[in-house]
Amino acid sequence: MQQAKHNKKVTGKILQVAVPAPLYTTFDYLSPETVRDKVPPPGSRVRVPFGRRTQIGIVLANADHSDVPGDKLKAVQATLDSEPVLPAALLKLLKWAANYYQHPLGEVIHSAMPALLRKGKAATIKGPTLWRVNTAINSTETPLKRAPRQQQLLNLLQQHEQGLTDEQLNQRLEHWRPTMKTMLAKGLVVKSVLPCITDPVQAEAGPKLNPQQQSIIDTIISQAAGYQAHLVHGITGSGKTEIYIALAQRAINANKQVLVLVPEISLTPQLTARFRTRLGVRTALLHSGLNDGERLCAWSSAAHNQAHLVIGTRSAVFTPMPQLGLIIIDEEHDGSYKQQDGFRYNARDLALVRAQQTDIPVVMGSATPSLETLHNAYSRRYQLHTLSQRAGSSQSPRIELLNLCRQKLQHGLSPKLLQALDKHLNHRGQVLLFLNRRGYSPLLMCHECGWTTSCQRCDAHMTYHKSQHLLRCHHCGTEAPVPAHCSDCGNTELISIGAGTERIEQYLQSLYPDTRIERIDRDTTRRKGSLDAKLEQARSGNARILVGTQMLAKGHDFPNVTLVGVIDTDQGLYSGDFRAAEHLAQLITQVAGRAGRAEKPGEVLIQTHHPDHPLLQTLLHQGYDGFAHAALAEREQAGFPPYRHLALLRCEALKVELALAFMESARDCLGDSDAVDLFGPLPAPMEKRAGRYRFQLILQSSQRQALHRLLRPWTLALTQLKTSNKVRWSIDVDPYDTY
């Protein structure tokens, strides 16, 4: 057909460009080589016309010809880099990820780049600029009466002794730059560049490794060079971090870079500090708390081999590291490695792919490895290393189930737990109470007719936040005033059903008015620095009682905790999600690991209405390993991962009919395969959320290849469906949960 139109195919100087758009194709552009004679290499950024706008795209390849007719081909407007910002190795990983997770490559690439690069800024290593008052000049001597803008800026800087960065100034004042320039020339202010990576320091010595640790390290380093996946399965406090540090040290001594992935940096400041002080090398931290300038700087330092150690959360798996020699994944089971919207990747899994592509070792560690990872270890795809004892002198805690049946509970706490709490406080112990529910109570109920505070926009109750005096839906964020009476019968007696962390804290404070209690959950740690302050109170032992959500279960070292109470396990025992049991077992094991870390022996009490539940019994008597074997057998029977692979099509719309219409046509355009089972469309477990109706289609197969063979054409077909732009839909490969 094209020939019939006499369109000549263009040859030479064609660039294939990925553009950040929800489209599963790349686009051809004419190279600007006629203007400058260098063709932009793959991995470099170009500015291109796209629709009615311009976009920043990444060159994927240089080609000799294009199938697009010559008169339709547009030219690149500008080349932004002479060197690739995305090295070939990283591009390869991103292409793999886009293909595997069925997400448009342009968007995948975009989400892997620091914001400033996406906006077209130069790829510099320079840290953010910091402006401060020049303290050498006494500003009262130089009145700025005639220069009100200068005076204003000066006042602002005087309020911030530490200085303000460009970004912080932008947030506070408009058009401050010309004024600042004048003041800089007058010497009223000083300008400096903040380093974004830490300087090398004298490395501190660590403890002498015990024989178990040493033998694991020896085994790992005795392997032939190249890809090898290791799992260090060791209880909390068994010295896994010391193993990471020793292996990282070795890689760094061989002039290699080391990437350490952690679930959440803000939750584990001690871990990062420990890596830095022990290794002493230039370190870049990549986490969500960075501003754009800091992020670009840290990213570029890694890309130019200036930072030898990179510690980061999920997206740090995409940091360019030319000399990468080792990847460490701490707490590999943690759910925060999975991105839950947009490009839904799992950073742990991508780190394994990256290690394979780079042909280097990867070391995962956890006290409670995920069932997928354990399965891979049991089937010898990963090497399993076990640390069975605590590293220091501490002993493992005693665990006991507390039967709640027919017990009179005080705000969710049983008499036995309260007695134990009293005993430990009297013996100068520290108590940690764990409850994965914030707020005062999960709902209010009318004592007359049973009416409850439900969210108008979700199939869920609104949580009562007593101290803030409001109701809040934890699913959509809707807030409402606390009702004075029942909206059905008008009765004014509304009672709190169930307990959240706030309620436990208040009750215990009334029992122990002189005891310091710290509540650690998302409500009490919103302000910057408040989490650190609370953790410090917890570590020092000043806070005698700690009440918290899963934020408390993650990796913290509280040496004085002697009693851990798990307030509610029944939620996890009877949830519909296939991972619920695994999560509960991990949680119990992790919080139990917080007890008795120093010389004081610990005690763990678990409240439940189902003390005979096989999961709890197995966990108690055979430990996490025993649980894992049983749970894996169950997964195999039920046809869940890791035995069968899952992909989920999710869809939500303001009207049920729209969502269902899309899901039905989606089902109809799925190809046929004997190896893939299809379930649905089914309503999501929470059918309505934030005013939208939600449905899902579940694909299940024991053969990954077969699943992906169907997914690829299906994704394209879905974008073509007429109903597709009336709904929000997404494909989730290896979903973390089915909600």
| Residue 131 bridge partners (DSSP) | 164, 191
586 binds, among ligand ADP, Zn ion, none (CB under 5 to 8 A by kind): none
Question: In the complex with ligand ADP, which residue's Cβ is closer, 392 or 601?
Answer: 392
- Separation CA 663–CA 669 (nearest Å): 10
645 binds, among ligand ADP, Zn ion, none (CB under 5 to 8 A by kind): none
Question: In the complex with ligand ADP, which residue's Cβ is closer, 76 or 328?
Answer: 328
Residue 168 C-beta: closest distance to ligand ADP, Å: 35
User: What would the two tokens of residue 115 be?
Assistant: 């914001």
Q: Residue numbers of the site for ligand ADP (CB under 6 A)?
A: 207-210, 213, 234, 236-242, 391-392
What number of residues does the chain have?
A: 739
- Separation CA 624–CA 620 (nearest Å): 8
Residue 669 C-beta: closest distance to ligand ADP, Å: 49
CB 346 within 8 A of CB 381: no
Residue 238 C-beta: closest distance to ligand ADP, Å: 4
- Residues 6 or more apart whose CB falls under 8 angstroms from that of 623 comprise none
728 binds, among Zn ion, ligand ADP, none (CB under 5 to 8 A by kind): none
Residue keyed to tokens 């292996």: 247
Residue keyed to tokens 């959500």: 549
Residue 627 C-beta: closest distance to ligand ADP, Å: 19
Question: In the complex with ligand ADP, which residue's Cβ is closer, 66 or 236?
Answer: 236
Is the sign of the CA dihedral 646, 651, 656, 658 positive or negative? negative
Residue 195 C-beta: closest distance to Zn ion, Å: 44
Question: In the complex with ligand ADP, which residue's Cβ is closer, 184 or 598?
Answer: 598
Residue 169 C-beta: closest distance to ligand ADP, Å: 40
18 binds, among Zn ion, ligand ADP, none (CB under 5 to 8 A by kind): none
Question: In the complex with ligand ADP, which residue's Cβ is closer, 356 or 389?
Answer: 389
- Separation CA 71–CA 624 (nearest Å): 65
Residue keyed to tokens 């202010």: 189
Comparing C-alpha atoms, which of 311, 247, 269, 184 is closest to residue 535?
A: 269
User: What would the two tokens of residue 26 be?
Assistant: 């790349």
Question: In the complex with ligand ADP, which residue's Cβ is closer, 47 or 539?
Answer: 539
User: What would the two tokens of residue 183 be?
Assistant: 């003041």
Residue 449 C-beta: closest distance to Zn ion, Å: 3
Residue 361: cis peptide before it, omega within 30 degrees of 0:
no
- Containing H/E element for 61? strand 53-69
Residue 257 C-beta: closest distance to ligand ADP, Å: 22
Tell me the Ramachandran region of residue 714: left when phi exceeds 0, alpha when psi lies from -120 to 50, beta otherwise: alpha
Burial of 121 (0-12, 13-18, 19+ CB in 10 A): middle
473 binds, among Zn ion, ligand ADP, none (CB under 5 to 8 A by kind): Zn ion
118 binds, among ligand ADP, Zn ion, none (CB under 5 to 8 A by kind): none
392 binds, among Zn ion, ligand ADP, none (CB under 5 to 8 A by kind): ligand ADP
| Residue 362 bridge partners (DSSP) | 229, 327
Residue 106 C-beta: closest distance to ligand ADP, Å: 39
455 binds, among ligand ADP, Zn ion, none (CB under 5 to 8 A by kind): Zn ion
579 binds, among Zn ion, ligand ADP, none (CB under 5 to 8 A by kind): none
Is the sign of the CA dihedral 73, 77, 81, 87 positive or negative? negative
Question: In the complex with ligand ADP, which residue's Cβ is closer, 109 or 243?
Answer: 243
DSSP string for residues in 634-680: HHHHHT-TTTSEEEEEEEEESSHHHHHHHHHHHHHTS---TTEEEEE
Question: In the complex with ligand ADP, which residue's Cβ is closer, 239 or 412?
Answer: 239
210 binds, among ligand ADP, Zn ion, none (CB under 5 to 8 A by kind): ligand ADP
Alpha helices for 228-346 (secondary structure H): 240-253, 269-279, 292-303
Question: In the complex with ligand ADP, which residue's Cβ is closer, 384 or 682?
Answer: 384
Residue 329 C-beta: closest distance to ligand ADP, Å: 13
Question: In the complex with ligand ADP, which residue's Cβ is closer, 21 or 209?
Answer: 209
Residue 559 C-beta: closest distance to ligand ADP, Å: 8
448 binds, among Zn ion, ligand ADP, none (CB under 5 to 8 A by kind): Zn ion
DSSP string for residues in 504-569: HHHHHHHH-TTS-EEEESTTTS-STTHHHHHHHHHHHT--SEEEESGGGGSS---TTEEEEEE---
Question: In the complex with ligand ADP, which residue's Cβ is closer, 366 or 436?
Answer: 366
488 binds, among Zn ion, ligand ADP, none (CB under 5 to 8 A by kind): Zn ion
Relative orientation angle of helices 177-186 and 148-159, to the nearest 10 degrees: 80
Q: Residue numbers of the site for Zn ion (CB under 5 A)?
A: 446, 448-449, 451, 455, 457-458, 473, 475-476, 478, 486, 488-489, 491
- Separation CA 217–CA 234 (nearest Å): 14
- Residues 6 or more apart whose CB falls under 8 angstroms from that of 601 comprise 395, 397, 398, 562
Question: In the complex with ligand ADP, which residue's Cβ is closer, 5 or 208?
Answer: 208
Residue 562 C-beta: closest distance to ligand ADP, Å: 17
